[in-house]
Amino acid sequence: MRQIVGEMKNLIKKYLAEEPNESYRQEIMDLEKNNNTTELLKRLNGNWQFGTAGIRAKIGAGYTHFNSVSVSKIIYAFGLILKPESRISIGFDNRQYSRDYAHLAAQILKAQGHECLIFKNVIPTPVCAFSILKLKADAGIMITASHNPTQYNGIKIYNKNSIQIKYPQTKLIESKIKTAPNYLAIPKNNSTIKYIENFVYDSYISAITGFLKPSNYKKDFCIIYTPIHGTGTPFVTKTLNKVGFKNIHIVTPQAIPNGKFPTVEFPNPEEPSTLKLAIDLAKRINADLVLANDPDSDRLAVWIKNKVLTGNEIGILLANHLIETRAKSKKKLLVISTLVSSRMLSKIAKYHNIAYSETATGFANMAHEAFVREIDFNEKFLFGYEEALGYCVGNTVRDKDGIAAAVAFAQLFSKLYSENKTILEELDRLYLLHGLHVTDSWYLISSNSSKDILTEVDLVINKNSSVLKLIKRRSEIKGLLTYSGNNKLRLIIRKSGTEDKIKFYAEITSYPKSRIELKTQIDLLNRSLKQTKKLIINIINKEIESVYI
């Protein structure tokens, strides 16, 4: 192991001089004492970069971890790019130190001359995004790491239009973080906090129910809801109640906000085990529908009678439902998805003669696209989704919103239930109408944080292309690898913008002409996709040391 010398000693000295948390100071001193240069480099030598949904990192000691020192520099840098005396709405979820970081953000921004309005209690991310428009704020900050494990926290930043900031604003902030002063030298204003009033909560619920109006369909079926130890319970239950859904059972062990997420390994509803308690309760009381939000309530997972729906299945079901209920819109409707999501939404849009657009990954890209097209083409944004359980229903929130999506899905279920139809029957109908689109997504963990990991993956796939039966295609978006294969297979690979993962998105399509043929094709294509997935995982796992299952 290398000795700690020169520049590293200076970094340690600099950090210890500004870190106010004694336990974090001790953590760095212990690493120095043990001559752990590898970990010290990770902790002290790196630059903050925005991912697909803000900035996230592990909580702990060091310039590259989340703590008061790093949060202060990020917020200070953001404050510098705002116009003078900006009004900023600040929210926080129930993660560890979220409240502390939110108040620290307010102190720094106030010292810079900005007006800060802060929520008094933990809130869902979509409520924070909504408050920017409601309060006519110039920007918004949400302290959250969304669905990441308990040891993470993060920051999402929104512009005055309630859209997450993107390049070039993110690059400008990143550059100013590098030159931010010592934590102790960053001015902080500890004057009286101005809290956001409760009317914003009611306005948010009214906005959702105003768009997703109550219907006369049957609503006596049983719904199970879980916030996965997060912020969603009061908002989801009140909103569902307001549109007529009363038979709602909450998963009690997960009902109260708890940043340690004691009943799940990962608070991510994409992980199958995360929904276990909700599904167990549903089976025990014979419930019809399970709705689950991640901790900051910007994602939605759905279970219906022995099946967890995929993000793409939820997305196309919601899109078609919303399109069919708003077919008489005066303006041309617009739906949006991302490149890694199913191509089926484009077919649905074409069938209904409405506008469709496809963007790079991340809701910042989708929201910006919707905003521009509403102005330039006079289109009316209706719905957008990404396969990772993110859905944007209307313009109540210009970001993914698991609460509005939960209500919309309950209404779809209600409509089908009243017609003695099921969700799976509706999916089959759409597949016969627009083509069968079988999708799968998975990930591999990457211990290599460098950007060249995708190059390694690309080399391995090309080397084994004859075995995998994949052909590389030119990708128009930087950071994506795209391949095609048998059965109209499309495979996209990207590095996660929020986690240490390499993500894979596969889709196979066919055009069955009958329900019997549809069932045969579903089984056939699923088997084909599983074989391809298994081969890819085994080959990459074997040939790239830094990537593992």
3-state secondary structure of 489: strand
DSSP 239-278: HHHHTT---EEE-GGGSS--TT-TT-S---TTSGGGGHHH
Q: Which amino acid is at 105?
A: A
Whether residue 181 has a cis bond before it, omega within 30° of 0: no
Answer yes or no: are the C-beta atoms of 401 and 392 closer than 8 Å: yes
Beta carbons within 8 Å of 524's beta carbon, 6+ residues apart: none
- Beta-strand pair 333-338/380-386: parallel
Answer yes or no: are the C-beta atoms of 119 and 91 closer than 8 Å: yes
Residues that are catalytic:
146
Answer yes or no: are the C-beta atoms of 544 and 464 closer than 8 Å: no
Could you tell me the two tokens for 431? 């597949």
Q: How far apart are CA 448 and CA 545, in angstroms?
A: 9
Q: How far apart are CA 7 and CA 10, in angstroms?
A: 5
Q: How far apart are CA 145 and CA 130, in angstroms?
A: 18
- The residue with tokens 């619920």 is 205
Plot region of 53 (φ>0 → left; ψ -120 to 50 → alpha; else → beta): beta
Q: How far apart are CA 387 and CA 275, in angstroms?
A: 18
Could you tell me the two tokens for 201? 């909560």
